[in-house]
Structure 1
Amino acid sequence: MAEDLLINKGTKEEQYQALLPQIAALIEGEPDLIANLSNSAAALKEQFNWWWVGFYLVKNDELVLGPFQGPVACTRIKKGRGVCGSAWEQAQTLVVPDVEQFPGHIACSSLSKSEIVVPIIRDNSVMAVLDVDSEHLNHFDETDQYYLEQLVKLLSF
């Protein structure tokens, strides 16, 4: 198991290409979901220095806050509400360039300006979502979507 992350300062794609194998090594052989989500959130936050990165777990028909890095967050989100609840309901990644323009956006922090939410799917059912917020508009793109979707495949518990 790696104890230190090797931070890559190349292009965004190069950063993901260097980080994903490190996360895979961190979680390999570890059966505990919370440990794996915690290390994944920490690795993403450390590499990209995003405003907020974390997971919401599907529990009793709502998303419940899981491991995260960043300021305090909303604890529970209903299906279809906000970006997280919408990504869960649609079972697809949502990239939101300006959260103020997203209908029903839940403002856990007024400093969040853009967001990407990637569902974690197992057996055709969303089990959790990866939520990433930036304090910059238009921060996330197809590169983020591609690599974060690869990451959640590693985490499909």
Structure 2
Amino acid sequence: MTTLDPIIIDQLDGLLTGETNPITALANASALLNDSMTDLNWAGFYLFNTKTGQLDLGPFQGKVACMHIQLGKGVVGTSYQQQSVIRVANVHEFAGHIACDSASNAEIVIPINVDGKTVAIMDIDSPKFDRFSEEDEKILTQFGQTLAAHLDTAALNTVY
């Protein structure tokens, strides 16, 4: 298992400094994740839609993906509902897993909170079982917090 280099936090901060468009920020964040981590087949975001109350596909890197996820469904929807990071060593053992890509075997999801509200879920999938370590979880949580510091809900709501 290859652990993510913590330098990714500084890279993200530098990349997003001065950026005001949240979609642009999320697109580059997903590209940075995809470029910086090994053994991935998907890295991106699901955005909370305040009109429908579901999570909609946002910027990502990888194969085509599920476009809408209900709260409480799958790893992504469960993370939103529980407001917690979820690291899954084997997605096939996760009750209610949504198989958007049958090649995915491990997954980690991190809520992105801005102004006390979860605006998105960062979702990263791997074809390798048990791909994500506890250290990866810590670094990715910091990555999410850094990303959140560059987003604001007003801008996100006007674009999305």
- The TM-score normalised by the length of structure 1 is 0.89
Deviations 1:122-157 (A, max 9, x none): 233211000000000001121111111101112222
Hey, what's the Cα distance between the residues in 1 that align with 2:3 and 2:89?
17
In structure 1, the gaps of 5 or more residues are 1-10
Tell me, yes or no, if structure 1 residue 29 matches structure 2 residue 18.
yes
Answer with 85-94 or 121-130: which moved more: 121-130
Partner of 2:115: 123
Determine if the alignment matches structure 1 residue 54 to structure 2 residue 18: no
| Higher RCO, Cα 8 Å, sep 6+ | 2
2:27 maps to 38
Identity of aligned residues (%): 39
Letter in 1 for 2:13: A
Q: Is the 8 A contact 2:90 2:129 kept in 1?
A: yes
State how many pairs are aligned.
Answer: 145
Gaps of 5+ in 2: 152-160
TM norm structure 2: 0.87
What is the CA RMSD across the aligned residues, in angstroms? 1.1
Matches within 5 A, 1:1-157: 12-13=3-4, 15=5, 17-49=6-38, 50-59=40-49, 60-156=52-148, 157=151
How far residue 88 of structure 1 moved from its aligned partner, in angstroms, is 0.3
Q: Residue 102 of structure 2 aligns to which amino acid in structure 1?
A: S
Which secondary structure does the structure 2 equivalent of 1:153 belong to?
Answer: helix
